Structure 1
Amino acid sequence: MKISDSAFFLAGITAFLYCSSTAYTHGYFGVLGLDSDVLDRNFHQILYHGMIENLELIMLLPFIFICGVLFIYFYVTTLNPVLIKISEKVIKKTNLKNKRKERSEDEIKIDEKYERLLRKSLIFCFAFTVFFSIMIKNEREGRDAANNALKMLDDKSYHKVKIFKNGENLEFAFLYCGARNCAGIEPESREIIYFPQNGHSYSQPNEI
């Protein structure tokens, strides 16, 4: 593999993880009405979250690769020779063999050119479809997580966060933490509050 190919591969993986995490948080923030500028994340947080969101897919990739190699091996060693023999028989029966010999080299080159273009187009369409299908899935998961957080508010089973503000301790339901700031919501009024990461305590629902 060339260095340029490796760099392109790494850049593609990085972009995929970044977009995946962004799609998830977009869905999560959209339902809860959170401000992405206040709850900004650093680059490493985004990539790590994107990896966690697609961990099952990442674990399946080696098996998908192995299945692809086995299919190619089966095609080259078994299926392709059979298809060639069948096509030769068909050509002989329909007298197309002589016609193919009469074709010019330019015509053959044009056919090969468009065959390569067709293969690249199919690969691009497949990758395009898979990419955006995963993005839609990630955003839907973010929305589901946000709706689940709202359901926990109704069930009084939310994660509680306590902050000290204006001389008093305030309790909120925890929603999200970015690189510098966190967000909570008042269970009754559903008012969103943002606070810095330091100076607050956090408890699990079973500790409430």
Structure 2
Amino acid sequence: MRRSIDGAIFLAGLTAILYTWSTAAYNGYLDVAKLDADMMERSFHQVIYGGLLVSFGPILLLAILSAIALYVYSHALLPSYIDWIRGSVKIKRKVVKVRRFWAGKRNSPPIELRAKSIFSKAALLTLFGVAYIFSLVYFERNGSQKAKDDIETHIKHENKPVQMIKVELNQKIRILKLLKCGTRNCAGIEEGTNEIYYFPSFNSFSYKIENVMPVSN
């Protein structure tokens, strides 16, 4: 029963983190692109999937760097440190003095151990909170940068054909660069005028695919 509860808490926490990361990146994009947040509202599934997409790269990079750091520590630094200590009695005494300076010689009573445990947990939670806040800032900046890049390439007329769509609005075909899609509406910016148009997500639109590689038998 306890494992089920722990698993449910972990899943809820992971969902909340992905939700906030996705929202931070999405709102960063909307803010720079000057898109209306109410018009571009997303569904829960879109938000969670967006969180997976924006966090996959940073999490994978962090895992790789952590693995490299642990490997260097366990296979290089720690063995060298142990060999260095074993090589001299004088060095051993210095290491013991340093440990006693930080940890002290006294045996802590249970009440003191509990207080230290509470401090360690509070410090760990504080560190996690600070890291979480920085992660929100990171993903929001990523979303803002993505919007800047999209607008800049559009203004410079460097849009790729696959980014362009044809949409019928008010009985007129308009060529737009698709920016974002929410649950009910999508947004695109028109070439030439640089005007942003909202249109229902259920509207039909067409786009051109180029450089499709043939499938070999």
Q: State the TM-score bracket (shorter-chain normalisation).
A: 0.7 to 0.9
- 1:199 corresponds, among 196, 199, 204, to 204
- Match status 1:169 vs 2:170: no
Residue type of the partner of 2:205? H
Taking a change above 3 Å as real, the CA distance of residues 125 and 141 of structure 1, as seen in their structure-2 partners, is: same
Aligned to 1:182: 186
Residue type of the partner of 1:143? S
Unaligned runs of 5+ in 1: 102-106
Aligned to 2:19: 18
Aligned to 1:104: none
Distance in 1 between the 2:180 and 2:21 partners? 17
- Match status 1:36 vs 2:1: no
Aligned to 1:86: 96
Shift of 1:90: 5.3
Shift of 1:140: 0.5
Q: Percent identity?
A: 31
Contact conserved, 1:157 with 1:205, CA < 8 A, in 2? Answer: no
Give the aligned length.
Answer: 187
Distance in 2 between the 1:48 and 1:109 partners? 47
Unaligned runs of 5+ in 2: 83-91, 212-217
What RMSD, in angstroms, separates the aligned Cα atoms of the two structures? 3.4
Shift of 1:52: 1.1
- Match status 1:108 vs 2:109: yes
Distance in 2 between the 1:147 and 1:39 partners? 18
Q: Comparing 147-156 with 182-191, which one deviates more in the overlay? A: 182-191
Query: Which SS does the other structure have where 1:2 is aligned?
Result: helix
Query: Which SS does the other structure have where 2:109 is aligned?
Result: helix
* Map 1:133-148 → 2, pairs under 5 A: 133-148=134-149
- 1:160 corresponds, among 154, 159, 164, to 164
Residue type of the partner of 1:56? G
Shift of 1:204: 6.2
Distance in 1 between the 2:208 and 2:179 partners? 13
Distance in 1 between the 2:144 and 2:26 partners? 9
Shift of 1:65: 7.9
Taking a change above 3 Å as real, the CA distance of residues 116 and 192 of structure 1, as seen in their structure-2 partners, is: same
Taking a change above 3 Å as real, the CA distance of residues 35 and 56 of structure 1, as seen in their structure-2 partners, is: same
Query: Which SS does the other structure have where 1:170 is aligned?
Result: strand
Distance in 2 between the 1:185 and 1:61 partners? 36
Contact conserved, 1:160 with 1:204, CA < 8 A, in 2? Answer: no
Query: Structure 2 length as normaliser, TM-score?
Result: 0.72
Shift of 1:147: 0.5
Query: Which SS does the other structure have where 1:174 is aligned?
Result: strand
Higher relative helix content: 1
Distance in 1 between the 2:110 and 2:131 partners? 32
Residue type of the partner of 1:172? L
Shift of 1:11: 1.1
Shift of 1:194: 0.6
Shift of 1:176: 1.0
